[in-house]
Chain A
Amino acid sequence: MHAMTAIHPSTLAIEGVSHRYGARQALIDVTFSVAPSTFTVLLGLNGAGKSTLFSLTTRLYAIQQGRIRIFGHDVARASSEALRMIGVVFQPRTLDLDLSVTQNLIYHAALHGIGKQQARARADDVLNRVGLSERANDKVRNLSGGQMRQVEIARALLHEPRLLLLDEPTVGLDIKSRAGILGHVRRMVQEGVSVLWATHLIDEVMQEDHVVVLHQGRVLTHGTAAHIIAAADARDIRSAFIRLTQTMEAGHESS
């Protein structure tokens, strides 16, 4: 990962980002990058700071300290250029339940300056990719949780972004829906899209994935899952994660 990053500029570069809510420090000097066409897992427990990092990357919050660049565009200074390069799936559902699937997609397209005709064509395409073409005219309210997520992913792809950010996209879904969504997003990486996938579900990590372990607002390590497992002298990514987080907590207690 590091060698690749050195040769090619990152799709997403997070450099020394710290963030606090009043007295509570949510992120501490977070630095990592997402290389082109990779599936990067942002792994951390609830409250690790994953959603805060997403909010900063998407400019929902202003960056207090550090720098975030998307394809070289500084999120703070050139937010328009940066934001049009990313597709985002937030943890909470962000669809209009009373509108149809297509209406939701057309609205999103308009927010990116894409006209109705082009939006309809793209909506057909992205819905086809997530296997929901037949539900295009249904109200979102009538879809299952997994289907709503698929629509959100389709929506995030509508403006053809090069980087996809997904914040805990499979939380609350059944095993089949989870596998479907994960498989679909992984296939997109093969098509050239870079993915940052935030999760606390360790079983979603594969050996070849790039992993960033975030714990209590700090990056404990990053690299391929295989590299992290080897460095922690662990059996698998789960034991490596437990070992890393326990070591950090033990370090805090002793200091």
Chain B
Amino acid sequence: MSAEVMGYRGPTGFTAPQYAICLKGIVWREALRFLHQRERFVAALVRPLVWLFIFAAGFRQVLGFSIIPPYDTYILYEVYITPGLMLLIQLFNGMQSSLSMVYDREMGNMRTLLVSPLPRWFLLSSKLIAGMAVSLPQVYTFLAIAWFWDIEPPWIGYIAALPALILSGLMLGALGMLVSSVSKQLENFAGAMNFVIFPMFFASSALYPLWRVREGSPWLYYVCELNPFTHAVELVRFALYGRINWISLAVVGGCTALFMVGAILAYDPSRGLLARRGEP
């Protein structure tokens, strides 16, 4: 025994299949948790559908549009706000994931993840991918319901939107993760919802085209232009019609990287905010 212990140092490094198993396990757990929270799924769908069925119907006559890319013709207001509502699902989902991270931290579950021997950046990235993956069926279920409401993008759009949704889901998830690292308690998170979700959603092109915003308030127009949520909406809007908005792609890609690095640093034991506060 002693001789064995003396020489025993254990295995080193991880193989690619082991990384894949870890990622799969984290996604599987997130999916299981989601399935156990049926009310979360219902809420995720009801929210955008209320906007679509009620808000859009009410505003249909109020807002008039000129023809703007990617649309080739005049469109109904419902059609215009659909990409924004898809992103609203992802925005809430990202915040919900970070809410669960705050909860996990308070309840201790987060420790299980963080003491895994795999690199922490990989664990957090996997958690991010898991959160994004959970958002996709929600968005497509919404699109399926919207189809019956005469929102019928070309079939290719449903496929082309997928990579855009993956990227925007990652960006919003990373933002949520960053928020969760600075939000110490659940109460503070509610504040973060008010300070993150609502400003991001309303100061964007989700509900109204930016040229209309500029007519009303030039400075707000610039705020909307700088809002990464605007670019996520536009990325998905263009993708839904089989086109690529390159500027939006660059902004969403850049913001995803930035937020992810920020979140990973925040959860880094040596530099992170959590370590400074004395909690995992």
Interface residues of A (CB under 8 A from B): 7-9, 11, 21, 36-37, 55, 58-62, 71-73, 78-85, 88, 90-96, 98-99, 103, 106-115, 162, 192
Contact = CB atoms under 8 A, between A and B. Distances in A.
Nearest to A111: B116
A84 to B, nearest CB: 4
Contacts of B15: 113
Contacts of A9: 5-6
Contacts of B108: 90-94
Counting chain B CB atoms within 10 Å of each CB, which of A71, A95, A113 scores highest? A113
Contacts of B118: 80, 111-113
Contact of A84 (B1, B109, B117): B117
Candidate in B2, B10, B107 with the most chain A CB atoms within 10 angstroms: B10
Nearest 9 interchain pairs by C-beta: A110-B25, A113-B18, A62-B270, A92-B108, A111-B116, A84-B117, A83-B117, A36-B5, A60-B280
B122 to A, nearest CB: 10
Contacts of B8: 71, 162
B99 to A, nearest CB: 15
27 contacts: A11-B5, A37-B1, A58-B115, A60-B114, A60-B280, A61-B280, A62-B269, A71-B10, A79-B117, A80-B13, A80-B14, A80-B117, A80-B118, A81-B9, A81-B117, A90-B108, A91-B108, A92-B108, A96-B33, A96-B109, A103-B29, A107-B25, A107-B26, A111-B123, A115-B21, A162-B5, A192-B1
Contacts of A103: 29, 32
Given A60-B111, A62-B275, A106 B25 contact: yes
A80 B119 contact: yes
Of the candidates A11, A72, A84, A109, the one having the most CB atoms from chain B within 10 angstroms of its own CB is A84
Nearest to A108: B112
Given A61-B269, A110-B25, A115-B21, A8 B6 contact: yes
A156 to B, nearest CB: 10
B246 interface: no
Contact of A92 (B10, B28, B32, B107): B107
Contact of B115 (A7, A88, A107): A88
Nearest to B26: A110
Contacts of A62: 268-271, 275
Nearest to A93: B108
B93 to A, nearest CB: 18
Interface in B11-52: 11-15, 17-19, 21-22, 24-26, 28-29, 32-33, 36
B109 A94 contact: yes
B182 interface: no
Given A59-B114, A62-B268, 4 more contacts: A7-B2, A79-B117, A84-B11, A111-B123
Chain B contact-residue range equals: 35 or more
A55 B270 CA distance: 12
Contacts of A108: 112
B113 interface: yes
Contacts of B119: 80
B24 to A, nearest CB: 7
A61 B275 contact: yes
Contacts of A73: 9-10
A88 B111 CA distance: 10
Q: Say whether chain A's binding surface is mostly helix, strand, loop, or mixed.
A: loop
Contacts of A37: 1, 5
Contacts of A107: 25-26, 28-29, 112
A53 B108 CA distance: 16
A80 B18 CA distance: 13
B117 A71 contact: no
B216 interface: no
Q: Which of B15, B21, B114, B123 has the most CB of A within 10 A?
A: B21
A58 B114 CA distance: 9
A72 B123 CA distance: 24
Contact of B12 (A81, A83, A109, A111): A81
A59 B8 CA distance: 21
Interface in B223-280: 268-271, 275, 278, 280
Contacts of A11: 5
Contacts of A115: 17, 21
B21 A90 contact: no
Contacts of A95: 109
Contacts of B280: 55, 60-61
A7 B1 CA distance: 13
A82 B108 CA distance: 21
Contacts of B6: 8-9
A110 B32 CA distance: 14
Looking at A55, A78, A99, the one whose CB has the most chain B CB atoms below 10 A away is A55
Nearest to A192: B1
Interface in B160-185: none
